[in-house]
Chains A and B, each alone.
Chain A
Amino acid sequence: MALLEVKNLGITFGGLHAVDGFSMSIEKGELYGLIGPNGAGKTTCFNLLTGVYKPTMGTIYLDGENITGKSTIDINKAGIARTFQNIRLFSNLSVIDNVKAGLTNNYRYSTATGVFRLPKFFKTEKLMNEKAHELLKVFGLDEESSTMAANLPYGKQRKLEIARALATDPKLLLLDEPAAGMNPNETAELMNTIRFVRDEFDMTVLLIEHDMSLVSGICERLSVLNFGQLLCQGKTSDVLSDPEVITAYLGE
């Protein structure tokens, strides 16, 4: 069975069908791409998947569990983590604290344990530090663990966001334009990182991207959205050579 099963998903804002009857299914361990021209409804689709918007129609199943209409918090607990198109870090926290914030729900001790510094606090914090450093190392950020997140260069902020999402131990990782604003070298490095994450953490990745080199480089399958509707779906090479897709991107 597919890890993510989206059926006939849709949302309307007033009379506007931002996403209309969108379906897709992503297998476990897949690198899946969601592309389309500006305003096609890609980010809206992400917001539906993560519960920021409540869908007006359709269903979403994650690993057999119906998560349609659940809150963002519950959907994260069910196993979907995301990054944002415009970076949303905890900018006044250090790099490592950003990741440790992501670990909050998986490494538990009570507030009282923290305030009174009971033994469990030290034990759990040690485990959290180890896990956080392990994640930071994957993204080459462990040297800067005590830097304030706001002071990181742009490319590293994007990576830190992915690290923080991974800290919540998700089944499915949603990346919203991970290569936006990166130069070709950084993009190539990011592609390797995403592949590494998939292999190392046994992760399923769904990403929105405009950078075709990244899309054709790492995505195994694609869905193309245009005006909120599914235009085309299938293997990357087939989709990218589809005349309809080319028309949607380049015009008649």
Chain B
Amino acid sequence: MKGQIDLKRKISPATRGSFITYGMVTAAFIVTQILVSTGRVSNMFQGLLVPFCVYSIAAVSLNLTVGILGELSLGQAGFMCVGAYTGAIFSLMTKDAITSAWVRFPLALLIGGLAAAIFGVLIGIPVLRLRGDYLAIVTLAFGEIIKNVFAALYIGTDSRGVHVSLTSQGDLGLEPDGKMIINGALGISGAPKDSTFVIGFVVLLLTLIVMYNFINSRTGRAVMSIRDNRIAAESIGLNITKYKLITFGLTAFLGGVAGSLFSHNLAVLQASKFDYNLSILILVFVVLGGIGSMRGSVIAAVVLTLLPEVLRSINNYRMLIYSVVLIVMMIFTSNATIRGFFAANFAKLKGVIIKNKPDTAKEGV
């Protein structure tokens, strides 16, 4: 009995919270897998499984910058774009060399993430001097620049090597045996469709583990200290720039991984997909799921990805219902009175459950 109590005390609320999230995501995955294998799921829903994972990963990683570092970034789509293109190019070029998708795809994810992280750190060095609205504007602009550069990029290979142009396909001067990799605004086609729900789930779970471990570590504490009070954080010797860059880099890395996962789910990858609407959409997931709450980000990403598709059958009223749901969710998550009402009733419910527990425990002994 005593041992049990000690064990209970050792688990901190933060650890318990993270394991609830892991459990929830895993349970949702298993249920979905069962439904899919028994054929009870529509094609539309099956097509959404990978996007669920992509948006969840992107939202969770953006939540690190928005919720934990406390800075508004609107450039998540830009990092996803870098990850998507780098990952797809890698897969396209190594398709013949590495035949096993089980080796190639994790590498593609990793490379997509690393490329985005490099961009993130390079951009972070000048940009993170800004705060608040200014940072949001600059990251938004960065995202647009990335998208437009990729949309104007032509890359091809032939026997003489790799050719790059920013004007047109003809400008590359490819030999007849040459192969286009990026065809400007038409993007990349022919990258292997390696993304599956299983891999998406594994990557999402890993992302959540990384995220929770990061927050509950020395670095995470320092980052949250900076968020809560920058002047005090400096006074205890925390290097603001360093911690901001680490956080921004990690957000970019995971955004890149999400992008790479996304690009391996598409027949044709086009830069126009990564416009600022995507950045805003992901920010909406973060805000509605609760700033700083990783679990909330996942739930919001899944619900808000599913909703427009489910509402397709009542096409005329689709956007109406979607916006009503958005407003209701906003009221529920930001209104202290309503939140307090739910918290109080939840506590009561918890009290009933806990009250009943000791009796069963006694019987057990």
Contact = CB atoms under 8 A, between A and B. Distances in A.
B237 A92 contact: no
Nearest to B224: A93
Interface stretch (A31-39, A70-78, A242-250): A70-78
A165 B231 contact: no
Contacts of B227: 92
Given A90-B228, A92-B224, A92-B228, A72 B213 contact: no
B232 A124 contact: no
Contacts, number: 100
Given A73-B239, A101-B225, A89 B232 contact: yes
A90 B219 contact: no
Nearest to B249: A111
A250 to B, nearest CB: 34
Nearest to A78: B237
B229 A91 contact: yes
Interface in B229-254: 229, 231-240, 246
A227 interface: no
B225 A93 contact: yes
A10 B257 CA distance: 53
A141 interface: no
Contacts of B246: 111
A84 B210 CA distance: 35
Contact of B236 (A92, A104, A108, A146): A104
Contact of A77 (B218, B232, B237): B237
Interface string A44-87: 00000010100000000000000000011100110001101000
Of B217, B220, B224, which is in contact with the most chain A CB atoms at under 10 Å from its CB? B217
A159 to B, nearest CB: 15
A167 B221 CA distance: 14
Top 5 A-B pairs ranked by shortest CB distance?
A: A114-B217, A76-B237, A88-B232, A90-B228, A101-B225
20 contacts: A76-B236, A81-B235, A82-B235, A88-B229, A90-B224, A92-B227, A92-B228, A93-B221, A93-B224, A101-B225, A101-B233, A104-B218, A104-B238, A105-B237, A105-B238, A111-B214, A111-B246, A114-B213, A114-B218, A164-B232
Interface of A: 50, 52, 71-73, 76-77, 81-82, 84, 88-93, 97-98, 100-102, 104-105, 107-109, 111, 113-117, 121, 124-125, 128, 146, 164-165, 167-168
